[in-house]
Structure 1
Amino acid sequence: MQINKKDLKFNICNPIHFLATGFGVGLISHFPGTIASVVAIFIWNYIYIFFQYHWSIVFIFFLLAVYFCDKTAQDLRCHDHPCIVLDEFIGMWIILFFYHENSYYDIITEFIVFRVFDVWKPYPIRIIHKNILNGFGIILDDIVAGIYSIIILKIFI
């Protein structure tokens, strides 16, 4: 994925841009959201092991992610540019928060279900994605995709 540097104020050395791109994962040219979701699973494992209050980590990261994604989207002059993948982290972590004692099969299933909802964007995810044009909107559509995933997983598992 090429970012036209002369038109944009994007800088991977900027800590906000670095975090909004999922530690640079969003700059991978193919399937950055999918790769970011995989990275989010590995990071979640460390959060789960080393922090007792997982919900507080997710909440603090959510608040920071809203700002980081909003600022990066403004600098890129593009709402929810594909390189902004921090929202995938939050969406994936919501599922993992509710299913923290997972087998590899469960994690793969949760990942697939989340990616389907995140890419497909059924109602109201698509409306949120198109109409809330700020950092909160960037994050919210992935949170709703995570909630949809939890509902589907609860029904079928």
Structure 2
Amino acid sequence: MKKDIPAHKLFKLSDPIHFLAVGFGSGLIPKAPGTFGTLAAVPLFLLASYLPISLFIVLTVVMTIVGIYICDKAAADAGVHDHGAIVWDEIVGFFICMVGISVSWESVLTGFLLFRFFDIVKPWPIKWIDVRVRGGFGIMLDDVVAAFMTLAIMHVIF
């Protein structure tokens, strides 16, 4: 079964789609690739946080839409739906959960922890989406929903 093949043998960092899908290599870490993918999003978010909010939102929407293709193509190439090494959805998810939040170490840490909680525990409807929606859209959608749940809490806290 391909899921048992090490991720570094399924994904090629020389392929731009794979490079993005595996979060610049962060998803190839064998333990907790989603957490490392989200961690890889933090410096990107910090750079993007200097953009005006309208441009930050546009960037996040574009990353989400392009992510459907990136995740779909990488999963198809690997022959495994939503392989753990595919972490572009976590990168986008972190961007979503920080929309309109003032940047501080407390907000970044809280956003990171809440998003990881929702992505790992997968409360309804995240689990339902994860099980039933396939392809790149499905790979992205469960993380987008987890991110919006996080975003709602973030706006209450911050």
TM-score above 0.5: yes
TM-score using structure 2 length: 0.88
**How many residues end up aligned between the 2 structures?**
152
Distance 1:116 1:4, change over 3 A: closer
User: Are 1:28 and 2:22 matched, yes or no?
Assistant: no
- Cα deviation, residue 87, structure 1: 0.2
CA distance in 2, matches of 1:35, 1:86: 11
| 5+ residue gaps, structure 2 | none
2:73 aligned partner: 71
- Cα deviation, residue 147, structure 1: 0.9
| 5+ residue gaps, structure 1 | none
Residues 49 and 103 of structure 2 are in contact (CA less than 8 Å); yes or no, is this contact kept in structure 1?
A: no
User: Are 1:142 and 2:138 matched, yes or no?
Assistant: no
> Per-residue CA shift, 1:17-48, capped at 9, x if unaligned?
11100111111111111111111111011112
TM-score using structure 1 length: 0.89
Q: Which amino acid aligns with 1:151?
A: A
Normalized per residue, which structure has more helix? 2
- Cα deviation, residue 155, structure 1: 4.0
CA distance in 2, matches of 1:73, 1:55: 26
1:14 aligned partner: 15
CA distance in 2, matches of 1:25, 1:3: 11
- Cα deviation, residue 96, structure 1: 1.2
The list of structure 1 runs, each at least 4 consecutive aligned residues, that deviate by more than 2 angstroms after superposition, is 151-157
- Cα deviation, residue 156, structure 1: 4.8
CA distance in 2, matches of 1:47, 1:155: 22
Identity over aligned residues, as a percent?
A: 37
Q: Which amino acid aligns with 2:85?
A: C
